[in-house]
Amino acid sequence: GCGGGGGGGGGDDYVDGEDGDAACQLEAALFLQQLALFAPRAAPPARLVPRLRPVLAAGQPALRRAAAATLRHLCERDADAVAAAAGNRGGLEADLLALLDGYGDVDERTSADARRALGLLTLAAAEGRPVVAMRRLAAVALYAP
C-alpha cells in the first residue's frame, strides 16, 4: 500500500500532489474515482473537488485522466455541488481550460471528460445563477497564472 486513503477514518491525505511516487498518486486518484462512483455519500464533491483540482495539472497522463473522469462524473451527478465545492471564482473552470490548453491534443478521452465537466459547470451556473456564471467566465478569461 501507499499509505493515506486506506481503510481508516480521517482520510484527508487521499492525494498528495507533491510527495509520493507516481504509482501511489495514481492509486490515490483511482481511489477517489471509486469513492465518487460507488460511495457518493461518503465522498461528496466538497471533499473530492479540492483533492482533484491539483491532479488536473499532474505530469502523468493517467493521473490527469482519472481526475478529469471523476470530475466529469461528479458534474453529471450534481454540477451545482461541484461548483460550490470549487468556489465562485472560476478556479476549477480555469484548471479544466489549462488542462485542455496543455494536453488537449494529447489524450482525447481526458479532453472529452474535461470539456464535458466544463460544459456542465457552465450550464449549471448559467441556469441557476446567471450573474455568478458571468463572473466565473470573466475570472477564467482574465486568469493569468
CB 52 within 8 A of CB 15: yes
Burial (CB count within 10 angstroms: exposed 0-12, middle 13-18, buried 19+), residue 55: buried
Hey, is 110 helix, strand or coil?
A: helix
Measured CA to CA in angstroms, residue 44 lies from 50, 55, 132 at distances of 11, 17, 22
How does residue 144 score in pLDDT terms, banded at 50, 70 and 90? low
Query: Which pLDDT score is estimated for 31?
Result: 83
Instruction: Tell me the per-residue pLDDT of 22-80, one tens digit each, with 9 for 90 and over.
Output: 788 888 888 888 888 888 888 899 999 999 999 999 889 999 999 999 999 999 999 99
Instruction: Tell me the per-residue pLDDT of 81-118, one tens digit each, with 9 for 90 and over.
Output: 998 888 766 689 889 999 999 887 788 999 999 999 99
Query: Which pLDDT score is estimated for 82?
Result: 93
- Dist CA 64 CA 53 (whole Å): 10
